[in-house]
């Protein structure tokens, strides 16, 4: 059971209560998911990207706590109108946390996951387009993408363990 006090700040609460850019986007250029419901933490980003690689619109859906909802929402606000390069380089998890007025330390991973989902979306876009990877995008996964992967691997492991235990019971 969760027992850590979570004094969310007013900005987090405001975005939790009135999330901006919420919901599926039917004409999204790219859709990316990060996290896993088994972790209680999952984000979907929808990005509408112009021919000139600029993010025209962004929206999200979130299965998670108030911090997860608020960080996802603020990321969609922060990246609107940015070029993919700017979004990749400037929107770090620390900046997201700052922008939202700070998070309790146990919730830092929400910002990390949101940025992980964003980077995944951008990577996905270039793959989809069949374009060359731009020079500003490292071939290897970034810290945030690795964290998202790690969380998903952990969820897989946990559910695998559960299934093994179920079998053992039978």
Partner 1 sequence: MVENVKELLKLHEGITHEVYLDNENSSVIPQEIVDEMLPYFNKKAYGNPTLTHKPGWEAFEVIMNCFQTISKSIGAKNLEDITFTPGETEANNLAIMGSCFARKSMGKKIVISEIEPINVLQVAEMMQKFGFTIQKISVNPDGFINLEKLKEAVDNETVLVSVSSVNNEIGTVQPIKEAVDIVKAKNPQTLFHTDASDAYGRIPLNVQDLNIDLATLSSYKILGPRGMGAMYLRDGVNMERILEGQIGTQKLWPGVENTPLIVGFTKACELAFQNFEANVAKMRSLRDKLVDGIFTELDDLRFNGPKGNQRAPDNANVSILRAEGEALTIELSLKGVYVSSGSACSRRLLQPSHVLVAIGRRFSEAHGSILMKTTRYQSEQDIDYVLSVLPPSVNRIRGIVGSTGVD
Residues that bind partner 1 (CB under 8 A): 1-4, 6-10, 13, 16-17, 19, 22-24, 33, 36-44, 61-66, 68-69, 106-107, 109, 151, 154-155, 158-159, 162, 166, 169
Helix (H) or strand (E) holding 63: strand 55-63
Residues in CB range of 21: below 8 A, 6 or more apart: 57, 58, 59, 60, 73, 76, 77, 80
Q: DSSP of 89-121, one letter per residue?
A: HH--HHHHHHHTT---GGGHHHHHHHHHHHHHH
Beta bridge partners of 41: 36
Report in angstroms how near the CB of residue 170 gets to partner 1 at its nearest: 12
Report in angstroms how near the CB of residue 85 gets to partner 1 at its nearest: 27
Residue 13, token pair as written in the block: 């609460």
To the query of whether residue 65 is one of the catalytic residues in this protein, the response is: no
Nearer to partner 1, 52 or 167 (CB): 167
Neighbours of 2 (CB within 10 A): 8
Nearer to partner 1, 37 or 138 (CB): 37
Q: Is 5 exposed, middle or buried (0-12, 13-18, 19+ CB in 10 A)?
A: exposed
Report in angstroms how near the CB of residue 132 gets to partner 1 at its nearest: 31
Given 12, 100, 110, 155, the catalytic residue: 110
Report in angstroms how near the CB of residue 42 gets to partner 1 at its nearest: 5
Nearer to partner 1, 53 or 116 (CB): 116
Nearer to partner 1, 25 or 49 (CB): 25
Q: Which residues are catalytic?
A: 39, 110
């Amino acid at each position: 059971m969760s027992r850590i006090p979570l004094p969310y700040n007013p900005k987090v609460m405001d975005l939790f209560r009135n999330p901006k850019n919420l919901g599926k986007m039917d004409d999204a250029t790219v859709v990316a998911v990060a996290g896993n419901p088994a972790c209680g933490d999952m984000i979907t980003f929808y990005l509408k990207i112009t021919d000139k690689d600029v993010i025209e619109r962004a929206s999200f859906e979130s299965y998670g706590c108030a911090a997860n909802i608020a960080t996802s929402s603020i990321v969609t606000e922060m990246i609107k109108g940015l070029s993919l390069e700017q979004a990749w380089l400037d929107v770090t998890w620390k900046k997201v946390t700052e922008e939202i007025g700070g998070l309790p330390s146990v919730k830092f991973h929400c910002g990390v996951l949101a940025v992980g989902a964003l980077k995944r979306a951008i990577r996905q876009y270039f793959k989809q387009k069949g374009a060359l990877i731009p020079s500003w995008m490292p071939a290897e996964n970034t810290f945030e993408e690795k964290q998202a992967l790690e969380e998903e691997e952990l969820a897989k492991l946990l559910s695998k363990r559960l299934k093994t235990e179920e079998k053992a019971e039978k």
